Amino acid sequence: MESTQSQLSLTAPGELQGLWNDATFIKSRLGYDIELFDDHGFFRQVIKLPDDTSDFVYLKSQYLNLMDFELREIAASYLRYIIERYHASTVRLKFKFLEVFAREMSKGIHINQFLDSLPVQEGRDKAEHITACKEFLRFVLLHGYEGLALEVYEDFQKLRNYASKQNTYLALFVMDEDRGPFTREEVSVLSAQVDRQSLPLGFRLVLDLCLCFGLRPIQISLLRRKDFIRDKKSGIWYLNVPRVKQKSRDRRTQFSSRILTERTTKLIQAYIDSAPTLDGVDPAELPIFMTSKPVDLERDGNSLGSHYWDDVERLSSDYFSDQSKRAVLYHKSICRINYMLWGNEHRLPFSPRTGKRFNLCAYRFRYTVGTQAVMSGCTPEELADLLDHNDTNSIKHYFRFTHEMWEILENATLSRVEQKQFTAAWMREGDLEGNIYSQVCEPINFNVIGKCASRSICFEEPAVACYSCDRFCPNENTAAHESALEGLVARKSHLLTVSTANVVSVIDQAIAGCRAAIAYSEGHDVVLINVKEI
């Protein structure tokens, strides 16, 4: 810190007073008062950013105070912008770039030289750094910083395809035994553990919610008792799950309802009844997953961050003094929710698939729920709603599997060389680029049933989605369509025993379209059939 003070002493007092104006505090996106600067106008050594999950993000601003006056002013403006608009976890990612930038600037590196070197650097944070840098450079340009060459700025903003080529969903595509979706047998074993009275009640409830709904840890953390609701007319219990991938400013403004089974209902009620009662807080506002002690990071030896609170008058609980934030103090953090899963792996029987301990990761349950929904015939829109996504763009990868392909990958022996080669060829991403489906086959006898007019990649299942799609052009092969109809009818019979009415309705639409294609192939007049040439 001595080096920081010595460099800052070179800045005129009048400049320091005008640098940060009177904005010592700034209101975060979630409504917390964040201290950016100390009494002398310097960036605080550690900027503390709370979240609505009783967790804190710590931004170390050591290098920001070492930059020249003009860049510090730009950095302050950028920090205000991102803290006001982004959640704490996103601010942390963007601040990582700012920290790297400030460190290089404090070494005397010119900004143009830094921008030339950033795209060629390696590391897993490269894409995040470049994205944040593009945003930061707009502030640099608007402030009229003379050190930034306009042509360098324009070239940097034109950067494309700088993200890692590693497929985020590779574990899903190849059914990775440690990080991919669980098999049916594994799901059966895990489901049985929910009923084991010897296991901790909180773990059993988290496990059940993950198995049923594939919830994200943050959604589990944000659940409150008032989200556990009984419909008076029907007597059905349901859960209002906070949606977290929306653009609303606050965490708990949009919800999706999830109907609960009798088992899940009893677990939630038992877990709520086992929690202590608190004075001064509305019981309905308390979280379902309540921590035993409220946030208290000033204690000596607290590994979660007590060392960041040395010589600070403001206590961690002061951030939650507002009445609307009182209950936040008692939420279990995302880390605690994750620990409730993997911290109990040793209590479970081994996986029947691997013969090893289960790797209990919340996103493995999301993969499982997603793939099972696709196999049951869910449309992209239904799956997006089930997994809490804004649109269907984020769930297309689930539709790369047909029902039959899933069976092959699940039942085959992956240790065989030919099976590995087959899987690698099937999952190859490059084959999808620019693919036009000149021929579409039904998945039983692999007869060609028509062509597709789509000029973009389609991940939906042939002979289920195709027959109800306005881009599908059926051919005149009656036998092929009859074979497809046989498979659809069999699929419907199976779904009637395991799925909901809205899922079965998808198959009904496909069956109707298939029968129309049969009539068309026999020379009858059929409406709503796409017959244009590809």
DSSP string of 21-51, one letter each residue = TT-SEEE-TTS-EEE-B-TTSSBPSEEEEE-
**CA-derived radius of gyration, the chain:** 28
- pLDDT the model gives residue 498: 57
CATH architecture of the domain formed by 170-347: Orthogonal Bundle (1.10)
The least confident of 16-30, 33-47, 162-176 is: 162-176
Taking residues 335-346, what's their average pLDDT? 94
For 459-503, the pLDDT digits (tens) are 667 777 788 777 788 888 899 999 889 888 888 887 776 555 555
What's the pTM?
A: 0.70
351-372 burial by CB neighbour count: b if 16+ within 10 A, else e? bebeeeebbbbbbbbbbbbbbb
Confidence check: pLDDT of 429 > 60: no
- Across the chain, mean pLDDT equals 81
Contact criterion met (CB below 8 Å) for 28 and 59:
no
User: With pLDDT > 90 as the criterion, what percentage of the chain qualifies?
Assistant: 40
Question: 485 or 458: whose pLDDT is higher?
Answer: 485
The least confident of 91-105, 130-144, 338-352, 411-425 is: 411-425
Q: Which amino acid is at 64?
A: L
Sequence-distant (6+) residues with CB within 8 A of 143 are 70, 73, 74, 77
- pLDDT the model gives residue 115: 94
Taking residues 86-98, what's their average pLDDT? 94
- pLDDT the model gives residue 426: 39
Sign for the CA dihedral angle at 70, 71, 73, 74 comes to positive
Contact criterion met (CB below 8 Å) for 520 and 474:
yes
Quote the CA–CA distance of 143 and 130 in Å, as a whole number.
20
Give the start-to-end residue ranges of the domains of the chain: 2-157, 170-347, 434-534
User: With pLDDT > 70 as the criterion, what percentage of the chain qualifies?
Assistant: 80
